[in-house]
Structure 1
Amino acid sequence: MVPLAVPAAVGAVTICHWGAQALESGDGINVALSIMTVLLVAVLVGSIAVSNVYVNETADENPLVQYAQPDNGLTEHVETINRIAQFHESGPDVLFYYGETEYDDRRAFVEADQSTWDSSAFPHRYHCIRWYNSLPLGWYFRTDDVAISCERDRSELSDRASAGTVPVIVTQYADRTVPAQQLRQAGYDRRGYYHRAGGRWVYTSVWVHPTYAQNSTS
């Protein structure tokens, strides 16, 4: 928007200049055309702003609304994870999992191509998670130096959960590949909250191992 303001300003000045010249020469037609052009542009800009900001401002199809911020139920999870990260030194603090075979690009928390997990063009982002789908978790975890890893394989997730080496596992409730029974048998407690990803509400499960949670409060 900022670069476009320059040619817009030049165009506005040009139209006003034409209108002033037409007024001096008594050219009523060009004066009217200049005024109509300015009014048309003003109405167009105003209508776009009103329709996108003030009318149905929370509609799903509104591209100006960001729904990434979940409800207050997330606060407890973030505080617990941050406490765990302060004392947990071996391995990741949080593991993000998405195992659906039909990969949903707009909803998945984990990048599909594992070869890209070790590189990122943005230093503030974690390599393996889909940044915009997982917001605001990425911001919270980056701020508190939470170590993140990702997994796409169900059996690998089961093995890591059984070993009990990952304090927190983040999954999606609708993901049919989540080994929920194995996670419970391994001692994980599931806590859920609604998360906005890709313009849709996604019920997210945060699996916390009580051993790490208790140690973080002691």
Structure 2
Amino acid sequence: MVGFLVARYGGDRPRPLVMFASYWGFVSILGYPLATDIRAGWIMVNAIVPLVIPAAVALALVVRTGWQSLAAEDRVGTVVSAALVVLVVGAMLVPAASAAYVNPTADDNELVQYAQPQQEFRETFDDIGAIAPTHEGTDLLIYGNELVVEPGTGGGMPPECLNLGHALPIHWYVAADDVTTECAYNESELRTQIEADSPAVVIAHVNRDGAVTAALDGEGEYERRQLHLRTMGREVVVFVDEDALATAENA
């Protein structure tokens, strides 16, 4: 704000570059949170980048004032200017170093958005991809409103029945391996789907563990795996049909 005011009123005429960057940054602060469906701290980088220009104008004003105070032997002005410079530089460097180098993957790092599952999920995705070509019917059934949208409200990236914000990156792996995927929003749909066509793999939020276990009772031998759909958080259970996996491995 200080840099904007200096550029707007501090000279004979406004400075176009600073004014443009200021308006760009101010609009971004308001616009990005309203327009984006991504709830992550890094999204505000889109506003910070243009605001660097008016911030540099304000910092230059402080430095010039400090030099003038030093030349005039104004001890108070010099100390205040130096303190402001140290405070501003420290406020930039300390969080940046901590977030990027000291604790880059800490659970409380608000700049990190975990979009990929933990490494051990790779084996499960590989198994699903191997099962798909050799399995008839539904390869993958995904259950529960934590991952599935309400019937009739889906859209966007296939499979459209999945909640795009909560189920990613399942969409990517399903598309890459051409996995036949169905969804069950509630428990009655889950039982109907399983009775009609025993799926090779079932994925659900960990809170749905009991419902899936009960629905699969008597449907064959399923290996249960408990994994994270993100590097941190969003824990899911995966049930893999051992016969379907064995068939894929022997194909």
Q: From the CA coordinates, give the structure whose radius of gyration is larger.
A: 2
Q: How far, CA to CA, are the matches of 1:11 and 1:160 in structure 2?
A: 63
Partner of 2:26: none
Q: How far, CA to CA, are the matches of 2:130 and 2:230 in structure 1?
A: 26
Shift of 1:78: 0.6
Checking the alignment, whether the CA contact within 8 Å between 2:141 and 2:181 is kept in structure 1 is yes
Among candidates 73, 77, 89, match of residue 124 of structure 2: 77
Aligned residues: 204
Q: How far, CA to CA, are the matches of 2:97 and 2:142 in structure 1?
A: 39
Partner of 2:58: 11
Structure 2: unaligned runs, 5 residues or longer: 1-44
Structure 1: unaligned runs, 5 residues or longer: 100-107
Partner of 2:19: none
Q: How far, CA to CA, are the matches of 1:62 and 1:198 in structure 2?
A: 13
Checking the alignment, whether the CA contact within 8 Å between 2:140 and 2:182 is kept in structure 1 is yes
**1:94 and 2:127 are equivalent in the alignment:** no
Q: How far, CA to CA, are the matches of 2:240 and 2:134 in structure 1?
A: 18
Among candidates 128, 148, 172, match of residue 110 of structure 1: 148
Partner of 1:104: none
Instruction: Please list, as runs of the form range in 1=range in 2, the aligned pairs for 1:84-163 lying within 5 A after superposition.
Output: 84-86=131-133, 93-98=139-144, 108-111=146-149, 113-117=150-154, 119-120=155-156, 123=157, 126-163=159-196
Q: How far, CA to CA, are the matches of 1:43 and 1:77 in structure 2?
A: 45
Q: How far, CA to CA, are the matches of 1:173 and 1:55 in structure 2?
A: 32
- Shift of the 68–30 alpha-carbon distance from structure 1 to 2, 3 Å rule, reads same
The percentage of aligned residue pairs carrying the same residue is: 30
Shift of 1:40: 0.7
TM-score (norm 1): 0.69
- Shift of the 162–92 alpha-carbon distance from structure 1 to 2, 3 Å rule, reads closer
Q: Which amino acid aligns with 1:95?
A: L
Q: Which amino acid aligns with 1:158?
A: R
Checking the alignment, whether the CA contact within 8 Å between 1:83 and 1:217 is kept in structure 2 is no
Q: How far, CA to CA, are the matches of 1:18 and 1:144 in structure 2?
A: 63
Greater share of helix: 2
Checking the alignment, whether the CA contact within 8 Å between 1:77 and 1:206 is kept in structure 2 is no
Shift of 1:128: 3.0
**1:35 and 2:82 are equivalent in the alignment:** yes
- Shift of the 139–26 alpha-carbon distance from structure 1 to 2, 3 Å rule, reads farther
Shift of 1:182: 3.5
